[in-house]
Amino acid sequence: DLERIQADHPVLRRSELIARGIDDSLCTAMIRRGGLTRLRHGVYALSRLADAADPIERHRIDLAAAIASARDPVWAFGASAALTRSMPLPFAVPSELGLVRGSGLDERSLRQPSQHRLVIPDARIVTGPVPAQSGDVLRGVRVVAPALSALSAAAGLTSGRWRTALFD
């Protein structure tokens, strides 16, 4: 059942697991036995899928985990948005997560790991007015609109050729 859910959503929130009848003790047992991987506080992935993920898929899983752990709306942005939209980039995978959040929102949940030992990728968090209807959810990742994805990714590139490729 969890594999079917995770096919469309790369991460599982604790609240979703509880809603499906998996209580905290079973969740803890699944983590101990290696069936679940804790990505952030209250955010998990099936270990088999996370371990088998290629670097692009792992970036998408990490994006989804960061977005799921945020208390307020957050979207993939910059090179992360371009990667999620399969836009051309001069590198295989961005070195950090690119996220954008609305003005005046708290970003602590995006940066702070839980009390557990986790490897949380670096994130570049931009603050700005992003209306909720200005993006899409692609394979479980909330991402800004295509034009903003291209523009924000191009802003971080030094090559004019790659900027042109993004805009095409």
Q: What is the mean pLDDT of residues 125-148?
A: 80
Query: pLDDT band for position 116 (50/70/90)?
Result: very low
Q: pLDDT per residue over 21-58, tens digit each?
A: 888 888 889 889 988 888 888 899 988 888 899 999 89
For residues 120-137, one letter each, b for 16 or more C-beta atoms within 10 angstroms of the residue's C-beta and e for the rest, the string is: beebbbeeeebeeeebbe
The DSSP output letter for 159 is: -
Q: Tell me if the pTM is above 0.75.
A: yes
Q: What is the mean pLDDT of residues 141-155?
A: 87
